[in-house]
């Protein structure tokens, strides 16, 4: 409720136009580009079983597109969200011998996806309206497919440079 003088102009209410539903996307990428763009089905929430299923799809995508990565060893950078740190997820990672690049607490500047990937994506999507969820997903895929060749390498390198300058380093 707002108090105003009786002679004050009437405030104009804007009609809110409903946009497409919220889309939850998980992006796995390296210096060469996107390895897997995984879209969570509408209404499904991420838990350890869902995350392990996504890791299964990632493993298959690596096998198809970057087989040398499996031989050298996969190392994921992730935060400590419950699905990432759950026992089921830890067992999955141990079974396949995948490593985790620890992320220092309270260091969001060291997370390349937050700044290097999702920042520009938000700028790109800003002001756009989508009729359907499929339109939004199509635009996401198109944006990732059309990034310049060195985009991903620059993002990975900037993370490493920050890590080496950080007094906390890796833990």
Longest pairwise C-alpha distance within the chain: 75
Q: How far apart are CA 145 and CA 161, in angstroms?
A: 26
Percentage of the chain lying above the pLDDT 90 cut: 29
- The per-residue pLDDT for 92 is 96
- With tokens 């359907």, the residue in question is 132
Q: Is the CB of residue 117 less than 8 Å from the CB of residue 29? A: yes
Query: Which tens digits make up the pLDDT trace of 131-149?
Result: 888 898 999 999 999 988 7
Q: How confident is the model at residue 170 (pLDDT cuts 50, 70, 90)?
A: very low
pLDDT, one tens digit per residue, over 32-51 is 889 999 999 888 888 999 99
Distances (CA, A) of 96 to 9, 27, 59, 89, 122: 66, 20, 9, 11, 34
Regarding predicted confidence, which is higher, 148 or 90? 90
């Amino acid at each position: 409720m707002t108090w105003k003088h009786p002679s004050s102009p009437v405030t104009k209410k804007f009609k809110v136009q409903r946009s497409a539903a919220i889309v939850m996307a998980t992006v796995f990428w390296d210096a060469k580009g996107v390895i897997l763009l995984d879209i969570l089905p509408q209404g499904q929430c991420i838990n350890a079983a869902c995350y392990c299923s996504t890791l299964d799809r990632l493993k298959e995508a690596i096998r198809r597109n970057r087989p040398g990565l499996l031989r050298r060893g996969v190392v994921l950078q992730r935060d400590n969200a419950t699905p990432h740190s759950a026992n089921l997820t830890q067992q999955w990672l141990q079974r396949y011998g995948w490593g985790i690049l620890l992320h220092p607490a309270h260091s969001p500047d060291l997370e390349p996806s937050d700044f290097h990937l999702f920042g520009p994506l938000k700028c790109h999507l800003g002001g756009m309206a989508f009729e359907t969820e499929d339109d939004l997903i199509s635009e996401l895929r198109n944006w990732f497919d059309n990034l310049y060749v060195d985009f991903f390498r620059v993002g990975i390198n900037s993370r490493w440079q920050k890590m080496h300058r950080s007094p906390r380093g890796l833990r």
